[in-house]
Amino acid sequence: MMASLVDVAAPSDRPYPRPDDVGAVDVWSHLTGAHGDLASDAGLLDASERARAARFRYERDRRRYVERHAFARRVLARYLDCGAADVVFRTRPGGKPELAGCDERSFNLSQDDDLTVLVVGDGRPVGVDVERVRDIDKLDELAEGLFAPEEVATVHAAAPAVRSRVFLTLWTRKEAVVKTMGVGLAMPLQDLTVLAPNTAAVGRPVSANGALPFAFATLAGLPGYVGTVACAGTGIVVHVMHERELE
């Protein structure tokens, strides 16, 4: 689905404790309802996933959940060289899922409406967030409550027709970064600035103490959506993967 994504390394100015400061990530996307058999997909899930699926009130939400998790399992099985049903997850403190028994691969999942995006990393922490482009109610109030002053100014300076998109782009950057950090929304988002220099699609989050050892890249080629992928390290290279490669 994704035609073009950023494939650039950000500059390094602070060492990260790995031999390679630039993280390589693969990005996969899936549209629910596009294909597949729900019963077959459900058969790939573990007991906890099936229990979670059964708790959804609406059939549409249940189908999306089952499809998304089956898709994630098929992708991750490709890297682990095992069956999709054999992929085992565990949960880190704070609730972030990871692969059990495999430190060489990391992953993160995000979804909104029918779009699911899965990022697979080289073992270092990764995060991803996607949002459907839509008009945001009380946008200025939200921006002032969630963003740093420079980011609020960027939202205010945007043309009215694209102001919501600018807000959502900054929001997905923050979400992807905090998911990578593993701190969730416990971190005050106003203390984290995610403005890329010269409107570039690759950047580094900045705190009051300077650039943090993480990098983010804007996901392009998502019609109707905006998204960001992030990883630990001082740079990021994004590889676009296609679902047909799973066949």
Q: Which residue has the higher pLDDT, 35 or 69?
A: 69
Buried b (16+ CB within 10 A) or exposed e, 72-86: bbbbbbbebeeebee
Tell me, what's the pLDDT at 20?
64
CA 162/CA 141 separation, integer angstroms:
17
What's the maximum distance between 2 C-alpha atoms anywhere in the chain?
51
Q: What is the CATH number of the domain that holds 161?
A: 3.90.470.20
CA 133/CA 137 separation, integer angstroms:
13
H or E element that contains 121: strand 115-121
2 in a domain, yes or no? no
44 in a domain, yes or no? yes
* Interval 176-207: pLDDT, tens: 999 999 876 667 888 899 997 655 678 999 98
17 in a domain, yes or no? no
Burial class, 94, CB count within 10 angstroms (exposed 0-12 / middle 13-18 / buried 19+): exposed
113 in a domain, yes or no? yes
Q: How far is residue 38 from each of residues 30, 54, 55, 60, 67, measured CA to CA in Å?
A: 15, 13, 16, 11, 7
13 in a domain, yes or no? no
141 in a domain, yes or no? yes
* Interval 6-61: pLDDT, tens: 333 333 333 344 556 889 999 999 998 756 688 999 999 999 999 999 999 999 99
| Residues spanned by the domain of 96 | 22-246
CA 8/CA 239 separation, integer angstroms:
10
* Interval 199-247: pLDDT, tens: 567 899 998 888 899 999 999 889 999 999 999 999 999 999 988 777 7
> Does the structure show a pLDDT above 80 at 70?
yes
CA-angle at 27, arms to 183 and 128, nearest 5°: 20
* Interval 95-119: pLDDT, tens: 788 999 888 999 999 999 999 999 9
Distance of CA 195 to the CA centre of its chain: 17
Instruction: Specify the pTM.
Output: 0.88
